[in-house]
Amino acid sequence: MTPADSSAALGYEPSNGQGERIWVEPGGRRRVVALTDAQRKRLVSAVLDVRPEPQARLVLLGVDVEGLRPAARAALRERIAFLPADGGLISSLNAWENIVLPTGFHRPQRLRGITEQVAGTLRALGADPSELLDKLPERMTPYERKLTAYVRIALEKPDLVLEEAQGGAPAEKFAAAYLASCPGGTFVQLEL
């Protein structure tokens, strides 16, 4: 990457021999393919920590993260979301609790009207809120777990979403729904 590359929504240059350079332009849906499991895990870790491995370079939302102060690093992290393949839900919480927990904890003032937002997002994605919201993750299908995690992310309206995707209709639905609600955002699918 060069300084001109700092406009990337996601730019990653791993340390020597640790994989291919990744550069994702801002806006829209993008796919990153041909990563090994280890490379994908290093990339996700670097993005979520807003800190690359030693001798690697990371650009997020146009910001080269090298040398960021802790407050700037935390502010940048708040603009990024990760949608793991398995949903990453808390097993002892039902779908509703998994969806609203981050908002209730970090931004309780946003809880007003959240019921309608959640129900509307679920319906737009073809799900019946009355059938899903009371379910614990162990009773959900893999799609329902991922859908629950997506709705949780959608409430935050991040500027960058990284999704562990296996392609197909669910991946397309989530990307389309995200871009409809966040037209300037970037949805990056890390193909498994």
Share of the chain above pLDDT 90, in %: 73
pLDDT averaged per 10 residues, the chain (length 192): 66 82 92 88 94 93 94 96 95 97 87 93 96 97 95 95 82 90 94 84
The per-residue pLDDT for 167 is: 66
What is d(CA 32, CA 158) in angstroms, rounded to the nearest whole number? 19
Instruction: Look up the pTM and report it.
Output: 0.90
One-letter amino acid identity for 10? L
DSSP line for 40-73: HHHHHHHHHHT-PPTT-EEEETTEE-TT--HHHH
pLDDT, tens only, 52-78: 989 999 999 999 999 899 999 999 999
The per-residue pLDDT for 148 is: 97
The per-residue pLDDT for 4 is: 44
